[in-house]
Structure 1
Amino acid sequence: MLNLSIVLEDSARKIPDATAVVFGDMRLPYSMIDTVASQVANLLVARGIGKGDKVALACPNVPYFPFVYFGILKAGAAVVPLNVLLQSREIAYHLDDSDAKALFCFEGTPELPLGERGKAGFEAAKGCEHFFVLPATPLATESAYGESIWAALGAMAGEFETVQTSPDDTAVVLYTSGTTGQPKGAELSHQNMLMNAMVSDKMFPGSEERDTYLGVLPLFHSFGQTVVMNAGFLRGATVVLMPRFEPGEALSLMASENVTFFAGVPTMYWGMLTKIHADGVEAPRSLRIAVAGGASSPVEVLKDFERTFGIGILEGYGLSETAPVASFNHADRPTKPGTIGTPIWGVEMKLIDGDWKTIEGEGPGEIAIRGHNVMKGYYGRPEATEEAIRDGWFRTGDIATRDADGYYAIIDRAKDMIIRGGFNVYPRELEEVLMTQEAVSLAAVVGVPHESHGEEIKAYVILVPGATITEDELIAWSRENMAAYKYPRLIEFRDSLPMTATGKILKRELR
């Protein structure tokens, strides 16, 4: 018997009155989160949903997320978290592809009409039978879109005996963003998810006081789910939920709630630092641990953060398929800025070539991962699973080097690599160099089609406020600082860059 819901249940038993979640003016204790999750489990069972079924959840970072997530797990079903930016056609695809029996959907806001999209997606899906609305107004029992969760929970008991699941039963189906073809559902077991939360918790030393986590990474994404919510609940910490990242608001929440633990993607760190320098905002002093993942942090951002906040950023690496954490700059060993550290406890990494052959020494090569964190496979896709996993090793599609101490450094996504005139060019390396130019605040480099070279190198650049540099001047500067085959021939200044809901720069939209 092993069920991921233990991370909530155990803390609810030990510290029932301690605050588990802060959202706006709401402070919800562990006992209440656990009680509502039990009601959700009772509701699912009453509707004929149980062990082995899939239940979808489309919800931003609001208290409904843990209520429903842990309720689904208690019932022995698997959670299918959906990106809140999906359109109705995409929601229908995910419901059909995962064989979801029910959808819990947040009503949304005028800016994010999730309820409307969810309802349309639910109606277009073939096998999904139940639609529950998570109303934007707390405790509202009616919704224009269908049955309100509060009306449905009205008659449900607040106790529930968690269904016995085995370590290898599916706990979560996480959809990969589908940059190549249709999104695929990575099937993660209770053991995958629980071990990853436990190892993540152990990696970051605790303090005398209870920790406070800022939960701004989307919980529907594996990074926020495992490292913030699941590891936070396991630790008995308080998780301050923030539905949308806004640098000023994040900084003021850190200060007012005495946040000790922050996990974010590099663009979030960049946004906070830009805000501090532009508006003279005070950097919060409560922060003990800062963790980055999701993409490689520019070294300039790492240096600036340490100067400004007085602590370093610990960089790690992982994927939805690895639950997600695979390697880290561990707090108890020397950290190497610009690297993704070494494999976490119980996990192995190696570099391979296109034919799965092991590459010795520095590489570069593609990262392959084996251990307790590797998914069972892609749901309903045996061919894709066979392509990705061999002898327990999962191939990531990320190209890296490895130094003599075993620290890995990501060069780039295999698919982001630019081939210009026969030379391999890694965009990330050029972005790092561009960001050392004092006028440049953020850069994204992509390959664009070119008649004779195959691809030409183009940089999209956000300038530091008030900076004066022309495109031609920046191209000339690049030519002096980069090899002739590498420097960007095309530069376009932008006020902002397209990003995913998780804050990664969307390169495919720039191409």
Structure 2
Amino acid sequence: MAEFTSPMHTIPYFPEDLTLPQFLLDYHHPIRLHRDPSSPWIVDAVTGTPRLQAEVIERTWNLANGLSSKFSITQDNIVGIISENDIDFPIAIWATHRLGASIFTVNPTYTASEMLPHIIDMKPSLLFVHPSALEAVQKAVSHLETSCDHMVLLTSPGMTTTLGLPTLQDLIDLGHSLKGTYSFAEFKLKPGEGRTKVAIYFPSSGTTGVPKMVAIPHASFISNIIQTATHDAGVDMSIPVADRRFKPGNISCAVLPLFHIFGLLINLHYMLFSGMTVVIMPRFNFVEYLATIKKYKITNLSLVPPMLTLFCKHPAAKEADLSSLRVVFIGGAPLSVHLAEEMGKLVPQAVVEQGYGMTELTGILTMPPLNRRVAKEAVGHLLPGFTARVVKPDGSLAGVGESGELHVTGPSLASHYVNNEKISRETFVDGWVRSGDEVYFDADGELHIVDRIKDFIKVGGFQVAPAELEARLVTNENITDCCVVPVPHDFSGQVPRAYAVLSKDALERIERDPEERERIRAVLIEDIANNKAKYKALVGGVEFIDVIPKGPSGKLLRRALRANATV
């Protein structure tokens, strides 16, 4: 049987009877590195407010006490968080888990109609809501058959509100005031229960493109952290601590949304487990991001490809002080190797690497070899504990260099999709996750992502991977972003069409000479024709638009462009 595994044969120990806060705040895993007690765990990027471990634990405990006393939250409840990034975002999660309740997250920029299906699915007993999302949340909740009466405002330090709802700080103060007269009983897992008790439900387009909630047990979340740390330590923990890419003393900037698996697992929890300080930004603004890197001497960045594009093409990046950077980790969506190389030139002192993962695997599946300095087309080796198969369309297993759908098993799998048994059965099959991605493994055991199977364009009898064309188009200096989708064609069935965002310089030239638009269009079409197989030509043309629609992780929302694509 053709199966692929990690080149690291040591399988680490995964505790199966700890909740996420018990693992992170109370327990010391053998592979975990020791941090300086005076080193902050989290810092508010806007106010500079730092929180050390003792204060983090105290706030978590007091909030749990307040939630238990005021709202009687228990292991039978589900609590939602609909908020931008906030220094107390993780406190809300860990306090809820102390009580045994599960958490779900929703994008705070959603409209009420977009939030409503998730809220209906999850039936929350309480919602933590950022003031910016409150109007949409209240409108969504008003459409529920059974109303969710309990809302708590998740506000930043020093923020005042007159919205008539309790704040997270109010509940922390309540929990603190009740010490000596009332104290909650912390939820404890039974042996092995961490494999079934859901910690967090994350929104995901999944392997089918249909928005749904993915159920992730405590042990799966914990396992992926340990798997990633094991990889970073090298074979038999042979990499000296001073040479680790994620280590105590490093400082990470958490600007990726914490309501997404990449932001919460990697950009926050894994960094904290590694002994690092995490500076939390409320939302992404590139110029402010550059200033934060300089101010806090950030060493580790976690990026999605659209952010990488800004580093490579935004004029402010060339003037920014990026000298503190040591690791730039990219994930969440396909990466242009050209942009990775450009980033490597911008920060030659740093490692520029990419990994591959998905929500259904609770985060990261692969990481690059530890001797790699700049990301390549391959996305790395499997983390220890994972086993993968590549399944051809006829159901047979592919060997080295042969492509097919990626199937994965391991200790960090999600358990199911909420209220969608059909898609759950199709995706979670006999202990394996069907990824929906077309891939192959090379002779060195590294994974290569070809494209989403459902995104392939069928030109005659040939398959065209949109990501391949996009990687070529984005190298053009006139283009800052692009997306390729199929359009109907009488002879070929489908042909590729590119939607592209023009650079500021290109737009200025077009304003002076409108014919420049057609010259740029012709250059793009000709470049693909000259450098790719004939059937990959942009017969559907090139359309210029203002912005490419993307999800929170930076994944292209092709379906949004496909829906409007006409001949």
TM-score after normalising by structure 1:
0.91
Maintained 8 Å contact 2:290/2:317: no
Match status 1:2 vs 2:18: yes
Q: Write the deviation string for residues 221-269 of structure 1: whole angstroms up to 9, x where unpaired.
A: 0011111211122223211112222222222211211111111111111
What is the CA–CA distance in structure 2 between the aligned matches of 1:278 and 1:152, rounded to whole Å? Answer: 42
Task: Give the one of 418, 423, 427 matched to 2:462.
Answer: 423
Single out whichever of 354-363 and 5-14 deviates more from structure 2. Answer: 5-14
What is the CA–CA distance in structure 1 between the aligned matches of 2:142 and 2:547, rounded to whole Å? Answer: 36
What is the CA–CA distance in structure 1 between the aligned matches of 2:202 and 2:22, rounded to whole Å? Answer: 20
- The residue aligned with 1:389 is 428
Single out whichever of 28-37 and 303-312 deviates more from structure 2. Answer: 28-37
- The residue aligned with 2:397 is 358
Maintained 8 Å contact 1:132/1:147: yes
Residues 334, 470 of structure 1: alpha-carbon distance in 2 compared, 3 angstrom cutoff: closer
Q: Secondary structure at the match of 1:359?
A: coil
Match status 1:194 vs 2:191: no
- The residue aligned with 1:407 is 446
Shift of 1:478: 2.2
Q: Secondary structure at the match of 1:255?
A: helix
Counting only pairs closer than 5 Å after superposition, residues 272-311 of structure 1 correspond to structure 2 as: 272-275=311-314, 277=315, 280-310=318-348, 311=350
Match status 1:184 vs 2:223: no
What is the CA–CA distance in structure 2 between the aligned matches of 1:439 and 1:141, rounded to whole Å? Answer: 45
What is the CA–CA distance in structure 1 between the aligned matches of 2:521 and 2:536, rounded to whole Å? Answer: 17
Q: Secondary structure at the match of 2:448?
A: strand
Counting only pairs closer than 5 Å after superposition, residues 424-439 of structure 1 correspond to structure 2 as: 424-439=463-478
- The residue aligned with 2:565 is none
Counting only pairs closer than 5 Å after superposition, residues 475-490 of structure 1 correspond to structure 2 as: 475-489=525-539, 490=541
What is the CA–CA distance in structure 2 between the aligned matches of 1:137 and 1:290, rounded to whole Å? Answer: 28
Q: Secondary structure at the match of 2:471?
A: helix
Task: Give the one of 532, 550, 556 matched to 1:499.
Answer: 550
- The residue aligned with 2:51 is 28
**Matched AA of 1:220:** F
Maintained 8 Å contact 2:457/2:485: yes
What is the CA–CA distance in structure 2 between the aligned matches of 1:264 and 1:128, rounded to whole Å? Answer: 38
Q: Secondary structure at the match of 1:146?
A: coil
Maintained 8 Å contact 2:79/2:126: yes
Counting only pairs closer than 5 Å after superposition, residues 455-466 of structure 1 correspond to structure 2 as: 455-466=494-505
Q: Secondary structure at the match of 2:174?
A: coil
Give the root-mean-square deviation of aligned CA atoms: 2.6
Q: Secondary structure at the match of 1:5?
A: helix
Maintained 8 Å contact 2:458/2:494: yes
What is the CA–CA distance in structure 2 between the aligned matches of 1:461 and 1:509, rounded to whole Å? Answer: 14
Structure with greater strand share of residues: 1
Residues 360, 145 of structure 1: alpha-carbon distance in 2 compared, 3 angstrom cutoff: farther
Match status 1:63 vs 2:87: yes
- The residue aligned with 1:174 is 202
- The residue aligned with 1:106 is 130
**Matched AA of 2:228:** S
Task: Give the one of 106, 124, 134 matched to 2:143.
Answer: 124
- Structure 2: runs of 5 or more not aligned: 1-16, 29-33, 233-243, 507-515, 563-567
Shift of 1:30: 2.5
- The residue aligned with 1:231 is 270
What is the percent sequence identity of the aligned residues?
Answer: 27
Single out whichever of 46-55 and 395-404 deviates more from structure 2. Answer: 46-55
What is the CA–CA distance in structure 2 between the aligned matches of 1:446 and 1:105, rounded to whole Å? Answer: 36
What is the CA–CA distance in structure 2 between the aligned matches of 1:198 and 1:130, rounded to whole Å? Answer: 38
What is the CA–CA distance in structure 2 between the aligned matches of 1:366 and 1:413, rounded to whole Å? Answer: 9
What is the CA–CA distance in structure 1 between the aligned matches of 2:149 and 2:53, rounded to whole Å? Answer: 28
What is the CA–CA distance in structure 2 between the aligned matches of 1:419 and 1:426, rounded to whole Å? Answer: 9
Maintained 8 Å contact 1:361/1:402: yes
Shift of 1:142: 5.1
Match status 1:473 vs 2:520: no
Counting only pairs closer than 5 Å after superposition, residues 243-392 of structure 1 correspond to structure 2 as: 243-275=282-314, 277=315, 280-310=318-348, 311-331=350-370, 337-354=376-393, 356-392=395-431
- Structure 1: runs of 5 or more not aligned: 109-113
What is the CA–CA distance in structure 1 between the aligned matches of 2:43 and 2:141, rounded to whole Å? Answer: 30
Give the count of matched residue pairs. Answer: 505
Shift of 1:211: 1.5
What is the CA–CA distance in structure 2 between the aligned matches of 1:214 and 1:328, rounded to whole Å? Answer: 20
- The residue aligned with 1:149 is 168
**Matched AA of 1:500:** G
Shift of 1:192: 0.4
Shift of 1:141: 7.2
Residues 405, 421 of structure 1: alpha-carbon distance in 2 compared, 3 angstrom cutoff: same
- The residue aligned with 2:9 is none
What is the CA–CA distance in structure 1 between the aligned matches of 2:478 and 2:309, rounded to whole Å? Answer: 15
Q: Secondary structure at the match of 1:346?
A: coil
**Matched AA of 1:508:** R
What is the CA–CA distance in structure 2 between the aligned matches of 1:246 and 1:188, rounded to whole Å? Answer: 30
Q: Write the deviation string for residues 37-84 of structure 1: whole angstroms up to 9, x where unpaired.
A: 222222332222211421111111111311211111111111101112
